[in-house]
Structure 1
Amino acid sequence: MILRKLSIINYKNIRSATLTLSPRLNCFIGSNGAGKTNILDAVYYLSFCRSSQNPVDSQVITHDTDFFVIEGGYDTDGGDAEDIYCGMKRGKKKHFKRNRKEYKKLSEHIGLLPVVLISPSDTFLIDGGAEERRRLMDMVISQYDRGYMDILTRYNKSLQQRNTLLKMETEPDITLMELLEEQMAMYGEMLYQKRCCFVDELVPLFQRFHEDISMGNESVGLQYVSHCRRSPLIDVIRRDRMKDRAVGYSLHGVHRDDLEFTLDGHPMRREGSQGQNKTFVVSLKLAQFEFLKRACAGETPLLLLDDIFDKLDAGRVGRIIKMVSGDGFGQIFITDTNREHLDSILESCSYDYKIFRVDDGDVCG
Structure 2
Amino acid sequence: MLIFRQLFDPASSTYTYLLADGGEALLIDPVFEQVRRDAALLRELGLRLLATVDTHVHADHVSGAWLLKQRLGSRIAGAAAGGAEGLDWALQHGEQLPFGQRYLAVRATPGHTAGCISLVLDDQSLALTGDALLIRGCGRTDFQQGNAAQLYRSVHEQLLSLPPTTLLYPGHDYRGLTVTSVAEERAYNPRFGGASSAADFCGYMNALGLPHPKRMDQAVPANLRCGRPEGDLLPPAEPNWAPLTWAFAGLWEIQPQALEEVQPAPQIVDVRQPDEFDGPLGHIAGARLLPLEQLTRRVDELQRERPVVTVCRSGARSAQAALQLTQAGFPQVANLAGGMLRWRAAGAPVVGGES
Decide: shared fold, TM above 0.5: no
Q: TM-score range by the shorter chain?
A: under 0.3
Q: Output the TM-score relative to the length of structure 1.
A: 0.26
Higher relative contact order (CA 8 A, sep 6+): 1
Higher helix share: 1
